[in-house]
Structure 1
Amino acid sequence: MTAPLTPPPPPHEQSAHSAWPPPPGGSGHLVGTPDQVSHGTEDQDGPGMKTEVREAAVITVVVALCGVLLGVLWCWLAPRVPVVGEVVEDTWVVYLKDSEGEQSVGVDGTFTLLAAAFGVVSAFVVFLLRRRGGVPLVVALGLGGLLGSLLAWRVGVWLGPAQDVVAHAREVGKGVTFSAPLRLSAKGALLTWSLVGLLVHLGLTALFGPRDPEPLGHGPYGEARP
């Protein structure tokens, strides 16, 4: 007589015995709802785009308003260009007192140096307030520097000597030396603030900005490991 055959175990028992044991230490794949995982990622990546845009708008306005201070300093520190008025055939003519003088170059150089200093300071302040950086922040720094330079140019011209040199010559009299109005001959100086600010901010972010965490690998059983 043959022995009765033993029936095979139910499918659920086979799967229970053949399954791999859980990894030691209870480590495994991430457990949680998609909302929890997404919130954790958002916290690591920084604020959302709306927050960055709002911060960028505020930075643009603040940096641009600093152009008023730049204009005041430019008007105060820039060298004066001496001119003289004369009457030639019943017509007033205004000409440079020193045709070989370098005061006009000094006016442009003063604006450029001051704009570069403002670019360095604004980049440091923005980096200290927002270390993570971002595209909206960089755009705000460049745009704010350009608007600030334009505002400084107009403020300096407005605060400087009178623009109507003929009327000024008639007022002071023939042969009397007076100062010519402030003029920015090198219009490229208007980009100094933006370019210097962007370069300094880029360097600070590359050297001292936060680093992204290194990705974690996975063991043979799915546990996370460095």
Structure 2
Amino acid sequence: MDEYDEERTDVRAEVRAGALCALIVLVLGVGLGLLWLWLAPRVPLVSVDGGVFLKDPEGEEAIGADGTFVLLAVAFGVVTGLLAFLRSRRGGIGIVVGLAVGALLGSVLAWQLGIWLGPSGDLAAAAKAAGENKTFDGPLKLQAKGALLVWPFIALATHLVLMGVFGHRDPEPAGSLPPKDGGSAQHW
């Protein structure tokens, strides 16, 4: 086997490892979406005189949904970054790219799954079903779309820190150490 075949085999292995990592992390997005749906505070709305209003205009439930998503994404980022590091301590670009792509797609999947499974987005129908002056839950929303980047950022940062602290080190070249006698190295 010549050098070109070895490089091609290495690239294929990296692509396979990255694709597998992305797929696994993407599937974890379902868990993030379900946890977000379960843990995010509901926004209470009320129908008054044919209009839909916040029951508590000063309530923090709407921003609480974003905060819940961000906190869950941080946790998922730390865990997936740690698992990616444990899977490939020797490094490799495939795992890193797979982690970033999978986490980004997993965040989008979680966001869409939470919206799809959450309370109805059709406020008129929900208000009509609840009745006049009755409280009902508003749709689950992610107002800060930047929250979708939290999982990939934290996962990559966790992986980077772990690689920096515990990762594989290349051996130093033989002639790179300073002389033991305390003298200065010869410069050319």
Specify if TM > 0.5. yes
In structure 2, C-alpha distance between the alignment counterparts of 1:78 and 1:160, rounded to whole Å: 10
Residue of structure 2 equivalent to 1:145: 103
- The 4+ residue runs of structure 1 with deviation greater than 3 A are none
Of the three residues 72, 80, 83, the one matched with 1:114 is 72
C-alpha distance in 2 between matches for 1:174 and 1:118 = 41
Query: How much has 1:191 moved relative to structure 2?
Result: 0.2
* Residue pair 2:91, 2:168 contacting (<8 A) in 1 also: no
Partner of residue 59, structure 1: 21
C-alpha separation between the residues in 2 aligned to 1:179 and 1:170? 13
Matches for 1:96-115 after TM superposition, within 5 Å: 96-115=54-73
Q: Which amino acid in the other structure matches residue 208 of structure 1?
A: F
Q: Which residue in the other structure is 1:163 paired with? A: 121
Does the residue aligned with 2:120 lie in a helix, a strand or coil? coil
Which whole-Å CA distance do the structure 2 matches of 1:190 and 1:157 have between them? 14
Aligned partners of 2:170 and 2:118: how far apart in 1?
A: 50
Distance 1:167 1:94 in 2: 11
Does structure 1 residue 80 correspond to structure 2 residue 42?
yes
1:48 aligned counterpart, secondary structure = helix
The answer for the alignment partner of 1:8 in structure 2 is none
Which runs of 5 or more structure 2 residues have no equivalent in the other structure? 176-188
User: Counterparts of 1:170 and 1:216 in 2: how far apart (Å)?
Assistant: 79
Q: What are structure 1's unaligned runs of at least 5 residues?
A: 1-33, 218-226
How many angstroms does 1:122 deviate by? Answer: 0.2
Q: Deviations over 1:104-143 (max 9, x none)?
A: 1111000000001000000111111111222222111111
Aligned residues: 172
**Following the alignment from structure 1 to structure 2, what is the Cα–Cα distance between the partners of residues 170 and 68?**
31
Q: Secondary structure at the match of 1:206?
A: helix
Whole-Å Cα distance in 1 between the matches of residues 152 and 91 of structure 2? Answer: 16
What is the TM-score when the length of structure 1 is the normalising length? 0.73
The whole-number CA distance in structure 2 between the counterparts of 1:85 and 1:72 is: 28
Match of 2:87 among 120, 129, 133: 129
2:33 aligned to which of 46, 71, 76: 71
**Partner residue of 2:185?**
none
Equivalent residues in 2 for 1:6-25 (5 A)?
none
> What SS does structure 2 have at the residue aligned with 1:181?
coil
Structure with larger RCO (C-alpha < 8 A, sep 6+): 2
Distance in structure 1 (CA, Å) of the matches to 2:96 and 2:118 = 33
Bigger Rg, which one: 1
Q: In 2, Cα distance between the equivalents of 1:103 and 1:133? A: 42
Cα RMSD (Å): 1.7
Cα distance in structure 1, aligned partners of 2:80 and 2:129: 42
- The alpha carbon displacement at 1:49 in A equals 1.6
TM score, norm. by length of structure 2: 0.87
Q: 1:200 aligns with which of 135, 145, 158?
A: 158
Amino acid at match of 1:190: L
